[in-house]
Chain A
């Protein structure tokens, strides 16, 4: 079945760039997503990319997609302490975001 893998932890200094990586197995993945979860809260949709795109930039966020290697990355420029959270990668084969498969999340810690 579908599987999404992420590294568990990342620690960076404030002001540096953060890069969170994700790999997925489902070749039919149509949409790939990044969500942020802060302690005790639900998931916040950060950005997404269609499988026919290579890159998407949205303010401080840059998403890169290597479809051949099924590798997705999220780069956060000028990382701030408020960016400390768990980041989830997810994929969906459907146009309605249905049946999304999530990784287990990467905990980003930003040190001042």
Chain B
């Protein structure tokens, strides 16, 4: 049984560009959450998707948007990239109170 998978593993972008990160949840999980983890800090909740709708959102600007597909996979889009968006982006899937994380996508903005 494959766990949570994310792509790409690493990404380098320039300020002002846009980026799309992808996540496939663990089999049987219908809820996907995205987190941003800056170096030396804990993950910060961005938003959560369930039944193709954004169900909850953290304190992130509208430049961060997402989507969930009928097969429960999800995308995170970030527009107008800033240097401060450089971080590890983690996707997590859950079906109840247990949340499982993918390996993350390391985004570097130059």
Interface majority SS (helix, strand, loop, mixed), chain B: strand
Could you say which residues of chain A place their CB within 8 Å of the CB of B44? Answer: 102
- A33 adjacent to chain B (CB < 8 Å): yes
> Contact check: which of B31, B48, B90, B98 meets A48 at CB < 8 Å?
B98
In the bound assembly, the distance between CA atoms of A42 and B40 in angstroms comes to 14
Closest A residue to B38 using CB positions? A104
- B55 adjacent to chain A (CB < 8 Å): yes
Q: How many A-B residue pairs have CB under 8 A?
A: 72
- A52 adjacent to chain B (CB < 8 Å): no
The answer on a CB contact under 8 Å between A42 and B99 is no
The answer on a CB contact under 8 Å between B41 and A104 is yes
Told that A98-B56, A104-B41 touch, could you supply 5 new A-B pairs with CB distance under 8 A? A97-B99, A98-B31, A98-B33, A100-B45, A103-B42
Binding site for A on B (CB under 8 A): 4, 31, 33, 35, 40-45, 48, 50, 55-56, 58, 90, 92, 94, 96-104
